Amino acid sequence: MGTEQFVRLEVADGIGTVRLDRPPMNALNRAIQDQLRDVALELPQRDDVAAVILYGGEKVFAAGADIKEMATLSHARMIVHSHFLTDAVELLAKVPKPVVAAITGYALGGGCEIALAADRRIIGASTKLGQPEIKLGVIPGAGGTQRLARLIGPAKTKDLVFTGRMVDAQEALRIGLVDEVVDDDKVYEAALTWARQFVGGPAQALRAAKAAIDTGLDVDLHTGLEIERQLFAELFATEDRTIGMEAFVAKARPEFEGR
């Protein structure tokens, strides 16, 4: 598969940018899937990263899987191969830090599924998103039927998956697929603004909040409330809880340590 680097983790001022870089369309071949997985495994270990931006560059986020590569795979090989992107996206979704997707151009198929793994999605005004796999005789295979349905509901998901159509920025915002639309040249800047607010924040509480919300979506309410209660109580063992409450009582600004 070669050693060319298609995914880079660039860290500056507490923000980790996961940069997809496989011109011209950031097609998600096996190498980029493996490299995404490696970065997703690295991010939880990086104490110098408070929040994460997923970014494909100024022109395109990711226009989907590498169809030329995929078209050569037999059923037997796809049984194995199908795990690679799914596992990479799952690991991205489990990064215990705030994650925002900064989306330009197109986020289609696997590209849209990567964006769905983020906690927030910010797109440019001319961006288009979609799950066009049905037009290839297949269905989304890395979360497009599952995370999308949890985000926008089953009826809207069926419309997008059954038809394979693309949605523009305003429709994406209206149906809740994305959270913010900005000028095309302001996408990364807007994502950076959102991510910066977590630098110096209570990292353990943010980790617990994300775990409680994401895990709670997959269980019944009673179980979700118990998960929330346990995570809440566990935070009383952290230094940040002491710092935050003492600062509140003293009417001072807390200086969290992330511990």
- Where in the sequence numbering do the catalytic residues fall? 113, 133
The amino acid that residue 187 corresponds to is V
Which helix (H) or strand (E) covers residue 99, if one does? strand 99-103
Q: In this structure, what DSSP letter does residue 118 have?
A: S
For the chain, how many residues are written?
Answer: 259
Residues linked to residue 55 through DSSP beta bridges, in sequence order: 19, 102
Alpha helices per DSSP H over the chain: 30-42, 67-70, 75-93, 110-116, 147-152, 154-163, 169-174, 187-196, 203-216, 221-234, 239-249
